[in-house]
Structure 1
């Protein structure tokens, strides 16, 4: 793996850590301030710090070190987690995200001096009690009181005297001095010489040995040893027995092992947190009676297991706990063979691997081709009169299982999008002075990763619009009998193979008189136009439209809502508005669960073959005598168990030649839509019901009203996929849609 690939993995992990930290701080803000929540935030920040040091991002590392030190004081109870401190931590996290972005894009680092001063001031209140890294310092332990700054630690300098034909002599004392690890004298320190850092019972003994891949994978074990010192640790032994002759040194190998005595106040989890980033590339053992972890020098067949001076190997059930990690396999050594009837061990819970997105997209494409090939095989066999129903059913079932499994890999909870909203609201609160309470429902709802990635921008626009235009100022809300704090509600739910995302506020609603006046002023509609409430609401999606009185960094330039609608349409979805004056506005986004494969009903309309997505289909029927009634001069209505719904000729609506218009001679497909309720699509006949692979029409041709995309049928022909919501909305006048 190249350094660039490792670096990219680091930034991906940074995004995950930032999300975890933000979720933890949001939970703290909501009142959940238990140790698990605080520890989760600490671990997330610590992981970023470790990677920053490994890749040489000094500004990011220094800032994160201060952030981490404050969090360390919080989790040890030295600093009270009050609302002002939570607000400070949230702002510090925002700046940390800016630091990560600056490191990723190689842009100037953000100005963090003010925040560092605020964090240091928050820690100053407990300075007289001693910080976690210098509590109870005594003469001779080599650990300074107060927080240890990374900028103050000495650089790593390893001086090895080279003499031809002889083994290298390693000045161990000089090496330890350069690392900032003081033995308190020459040579190894016996257990009786270890200073009592807490004035009480001595704490953990920690044995550390980096494995062969520790430095090769971009990690820096020396920085982690310094973090041990920062926790108050004292190095009592360094195993140098595996250092080879100078001409045999390999910088990718790990030759040294260290034993630390930790203060009694340091927990085992705090030590493990230091080595989170390096993972299995560093072996750890805890306990006085433990030995240094065994480590194989890769490619040499040499295994080191040097005992700690004065210690004895564990032999009873009271042995110290060891971090169980898989030892690197010896090159060329065969895997152990299981005995007869042996059952493979199940994978560890939560085990996962990283997969390149290109490989995942390629898998989805291949599954799509498999679906097409299966449809072609079925059609070819049926055309030849070959009966193999059992085999074809099995093939169809397996194909569907493979497709569902492949799609589930790409499915992600929408919580990853919703988690960004608290930061947006905090930024808007500082800009607008409006404080908004966030309510979230259905954040575990899953949908395709591609949809999630492209949903962030339109969602951000809608939230900014809701706060700036929808929710009133505190004094106006109080005058209207409302709470001074506004409420923004985000919800997501599955409905008939689609996902509905609602962004609702409890503001003043859309001021339709003002919207119409602004539209007439800008020439978007004629002054004599008679528009319904729904049509006026939809004017806000017109390009260049804005009702803001003052241009700001939030709104007023007429750019945003038209982009939102276009982005949603590009995802194969629709956006509708439900606004009540004085009570608020809701934007409803209707999106497909996936952009790749779906189920559909293949229908014939004149000389065209089309696909109606099965997610919209309620039922299909042939109308009996008297089931269809006329309404006005051109509208026909279908009586479905006492309820009349409009009939729409699919061929005529899409411009197909010789499309049928007599409902009694065709088949009616009852469909459900978001904007107009139910309608009946008139087609000539239904050919089949199959899975289909969605191909973008806009990418390969151009957007077509009423068409959501295209697919390839089993016989190789191209069929258009009907955009049911868009087709019904265009075919029905606005008053009929409102009545529905």
Structure 2
């Protein structure tokens, strides 16, 4: 039973994560000026759901804080507190504490200090948002004596540890005769029409009616006008509309709680009764046979809820008597329910099971490769090996799509972060986003949050100039940060680009020498100087602030990205800006590869980059400097790279005895790679190296070939960008 409860609680925490994402997006929209009822209601529902689940699992601290947060949201939703910038700021701070409470409930963090946030929420409630959270003392003076004279809430009483106020009446007082309610405590009129598919989805409307009755509700009327003829009656559809009167002392929140699990397309209306019921006594005296409809066309019902089954049976029998015999009409085909085609059905699947399925698909591709190696060409056609490979590829693509999530989930925190940074730095910052719908593996989305945060903060603090500096440089006073994502082959490119001052390479080199990261006589290229900002402990900030200055930002970016098997590239133009690019691998992918040999060892070269292959003639490859070569391609000179030199492999083969594969990279255009021979073309499965080896520049992973041997997969972008020989990690060049 404990294991089952743990599984259910794990689902609750997943729903918490979804709710927090929804709440943060809504609050960010409110901070940006969108205070529509839909946005506010979305935040309220998210916090309300978290509170409900937390209460079910006994997370008292989380429940209490969410309850207080929900109270403020409910007042904002009802129009009693205006969503002013000050109120939204308080709610954003409360959201951060709510997130910490969720982490604490998971056991991943200590209980957060929420006293200040609770006090701020209390202040907003007390002031009704006036003056953006001004002190209670600044409230209008006439209100003070009224509050003091109200017997229901003495000022001496204080909230308990959960923020709830004690009741001002004893239980014995509930037996006293009820007085006529004041105008402010007029009864509630609740109209409830369940979704047509409520019963089909196990949503029993009578259970909700009974729950309302526990609050003192009375059924005023039931509309049966939408009940169809018997032959059209669907026993899984709901046709009735209930109207109930709820005592005025019941809070609107308690009434809404009864409809927590009602389908969103149900009709739920809660309003104050503008005409209190002095006619209660005459109604009680009215004969049961009086069935006159009221102004809404509803028929009053005086029977208790237990008698509704009999009433429903009577209605059905009446309809059956008025309908033609079933045998006299042709039974029509059952039409699909409205909206059924558009409904999306989802199921939660443990990520471990998806990982296992991905690995099994990869093994299937490897076995297919083994068969291809062992069968003759005639046998391959006889067993339909190409068809098997095609089906395997389709399975792999579909399994990969199960783990894919839009990278928008990772981007969603950036707008709020930039607004906060804009306030802290005093800079006006515009954000442009591209490729938010790019689908990335869920595991990657979860792990790029920290690197993305550090790059955004670095761009806002170090990259962008102040408004005065930008005006002096002839730029727009407002800086711009562009955030983009795209997939290219088996790689995901995530870029953070600013139009700021660029990297001051002289200052960076001087700081690196000062901190002992490089020697004073080191000769570095511009690219190598740019990479110094990712060194541990490096910072050019003159003072330590909440944003930067401790030298751990870009180091964390590189470490986290390399842990994912990716790399970070930096491109900067002084005076124009800097671009940080995270290049991340897909968790598992099948790619078309060319099996090549370097110094006798087999490697896989992705075919997506290959333009053509050349057997160079004597003199076609020319050396332009001790470290660079070019090949004459029909009058166009293309740079040539020897992969054996980059990886430090011993190979004295002359270039005329080798092959030059012309590849195309994004950053460097056409480049020729010198290889020994080309063995085959094959679909291969990418296996990550980061679990067992540190990342190696120039390699994008490994695969298992048909004979069971391992071949390393070349990373073309990193390979053609490399200027030096490969140096093992931790060794001097």
Same fold per TM (> 0.5)? yes
In the aligned structure 2, how far is the partner of 1:73 from the partner of 1:273?
15
1:511 positional shift: 1.7
Aligned with 2:164: secondary structure? helix
Task: Give the conservation status (yes or no) of the 8 Å contact 1:571–1:595.
Answer: no
CA distance in 1, matches of 2:649, 2:664: 23
Q: 1:344 Cα deviation (Å)?
A: 10
Distance in 1 (alpha carbons) for counterparts of 2:520 and 2:345: 64
SS of 1:9's partner is helix
Q: Is the 8 A contact 2:490 2:589 kept in 1?
A: no
Q: Give, in whole Å, the separation in 2 of the partners of 1:715 and 1:513.
A: 53
Counterparts of 1:279-358 in structure 2, within 5 Å, are 306-308=306-308, 349-358=343-352
The 2-side partners of 1:656 and 1:700 are apart by 22
* Superimposed CA distance per residue, residues 483-528 of structure 1 (whole angstroms, 9 cap, x where no aligned partner): 5554322111233443221112233221222112112223333434
| Cα contact 1:364–1:406 (8 A) shared by 2 | yes
1:204 aligned partner? 191
Give the Cα separation in 2 of the matches to 1:269 and 1:623.
80
Of the three residues 517, 522, 538, the one matched with 2:531 is 538
Q: Quick one: which of 118, 121, 127 aligns to 2:123?
A: 118
**Worse-superposed segment, 699-708 or 55-64:** 699-708
In the superposition, relative to structure 1, how do residues 456 and 285 fare at CA in structure 2: closer, same or farther (>3 Å)? Answer: closer
Which runs of structure 2 are paired with 1:403-414 in the superposition (5 Å)? 403-414=396-407
- 1:503-652 mapped onto 2 (5 Å cutoff): 503-623=496-616, 627-633=620-626, 635-640=628-633, 642-652=635-645
Offset, 1:414: 0.8
Secondary structure at 1:727 match in 2: helix
Q: Distance in 2 between matches of 1:558 and 1:450?
A: 27
Is the CA contact 2:393–2:590 (under 8 Å) kept in the aligned structure 1? no
RMSD of aligned C-alpha atoms?
Answer: 4.9
How far residue 122 of structure 1 moved from its aligned partner, in angstroms, is 4.9
State the 1:184 CA deviation: 9.1
Looking at structure 1, the residues matched to 658 and 255 of structure 2 have their Cα atoms a distance apart, in angstroms, of 74
* Corresponding residue of 1:327: none
Would the aligned equivalents of 2:621 and 2:630 in 1 still touch at CA under 8 Å? yes
Matching residue of 2:452: 459
Q: CA–CA distance in 2 between the matches of 1:399 and 1:451?
A: 24
Mapping for residues 388-399 of structure 1, pairs under 5 Å:
388=381, 391-399=384-392
Change (3 A) 1:225 1:15: farther
CA contact (8 A) 1:498 1:615 kept: no
2-structure distance, mates of 1:119, 1:571: 44
The 1-side partners of 2:644 and 2:334 are apart by 63
Tell me whether 1:380 sits opposite 2:374 in the alignment.
yes
For 1:612-643, what per-residue CA distance to the aligned partner results, in whole angstroms no more than 9, with x for missing partners? 13343344344467754442356331234553
Match of 1:690 among 682, 690, 702: 682
| 2:708 counterpart of 1:730 | no
The corresponding residue for 2:231 is none
Match of 2:18 among 16, 19, 32: 16
Q: Deviations over 1:206-225 (max 9, x none)?
A: 899x99x99xxxxxx99x96
Match of 2:437 among 432, 444, 450: 444
Q: Deviations over 1:323-368 (max 9, x none)?
A: xxxxxxxxxxxxxxxx9x9999977622211111111111111111
User: How far apart are the structure 1 equivalents of 2:652 and 2:48?
Assistant: 66
Counterparts of 1:617 and 1:290 in 2: how far apart (Å)?
79
Aligned residues of 1:414 and 1:444 also touching (Cα < 8 A): yes
Cα deviation code 1:233-278 (max 9, x no counterpart): 64238xxxxxxxxxxxxxxxxxxxx9953599x99999677544x5
User: What residue number does 1:76 align with?
Assistant: 78
Q: Within 1, Cα distance between the matches of 2:435 and 2:176?
A: 58
Q: Compared with structure 1, are the counterparts of its residues 463 and 207 closer, same or farther at alpha carbon in structure 2 (3 Å cutoff)? A: closer
| 1:48 and 2:50 matched | yes
Displacement of 1:411 in angstroms is 0.9
Cα contact 1:671–1:681 (8 A) shared by 2: yes
Residue 164 of structure 2 corresponds to 151
Given candidates 198, 218, 227, the residue that maps to 1:236 is 218
Structure 2 unaligned blocks of 5 or more: 132-138, 141-158, 220-241, 270-295, 320-330, 726-733
SS in 1 for 2:581: strand
Contact 2:191–2:243 (8 Å) recurs in 1: no
Q: 1:614 to 1:291 in 2, by over 3 A?
A: farther
Over 3 Å counting, the alpha-carbon distance change for 1:578 and 1:370 in structure 2 is same
Tell me whether 1:101 sits opposite 2:103 in the alignment: yes
**Contact 2:186/2:247 (CA < 8 Å) preserved in 1?**
no
Partners of 1:608 and 1:656 within 8 A in 2: no
Superposed CA offset, 1:390-427 (max 9, x none): 71121011100000001111111111111122343355
Moved more, 112-121 or 424-433: 424-433
Relative distance call for 1:124 and 1:41 in structure 2 (3 A) is closer
For residue 13 of structure 1, report the CA deviation from its aligned partner: 0.8
**Residue in 2 aligned with 1:246?**
none
- Partners of 1:290 and 1:12 lie apart in 2 by 45
Whole-angstrom CA distance in 2 between matches of 1:601 and 1:343: 54
Say if 1:560 and 1:618 are closer, same or farther in 2 by CA, change over 3 A: farther
- What are the residue-to-residue correspondences of 1:206-285 with 2, within 5 Å? 234-236=216-218, 261-262=245-246, 275-276=259-260
- Unaligned ranges ≥5, structure 1: 129-146, 155-173, 187-192, 215-220, 238-257, 293-303, 320-338, 734-740
Post-superposition Cα deviations, 1:580-612, rounded to whole Å, max 9, x if no partner, equal 333322212222344454432222334211111
TM-score calculated relative to the size of structure 2: 0.72
Q: 1:700 aligned to 692, 703, 709, which one?
A: 692
What is the Cα deviation at residue 683 of structure 1? Answer: 1.8
Which residue pairs with 1:63 in the alignment? 65
SS at 2:409 equivalent: helix
- Counterpart residue number, 2:146: none
CA gap 1:607/1:314 in 2 versus in 1, 3 angstroms:
farther
Answer whether contact 1:451 1:595 (CA < 8 A) is retained: no
Alignment partners' CA distance in 1, 2:33 and 2:666? 38
Q: Matches of residues 648-659 of structure 1 in structure 2 within 5 Å?
A: 648-658=641-651
Matched, 1:421 2:414: yes
C-alpha spacing 1:521/1:371, structure 2 compared with 1 (3 Å) = same
The Cα of 1:20 is off from its aligned counterpart by 0.6
Q: Matched residues in 1 for 2:380 and 2:8: separation?
A: 54
Contact 1:602–1:610 under 8 Å retained in 2: yes
- Residue deviations 1:676-713, cap 9 Å, x none? 33311122332333332233334335554433322111
What's the CA shift for 1:5?
Answer: 2.0
Residues 289, 311 of structure 1: 8 Å contact kept: no
Give the secondary-structure state (helix, strand or coil) at the position aligned to 1:699.
Answer: coil
Judged with a 3 Å threshold, the aligned counterparts in structure 2 of structure 1 residues 514 and 389 are, in CA distance, closer, same or farther, namely farther
Deviating more after overlay: 63-72 vs 612-621: 612-621
* 1:448-485 residue CA offsets vs partner (Å, 9 max, x unmatched): 22222221222122122222322234554455455555
Q: Taking structure 1 as reference, are residues 389 and 456 closer, same or farther at Cα in structure 2, changes over 3 Å only?
A: farther
Distance 1:45 1:153, change over 3 A: farther
| Aligned counterparts of 1:702 and 1:499: Cα–Cα separation in 2 | 20
The DSSP-based 3-state class of the residue aligned with 1:572 is coil
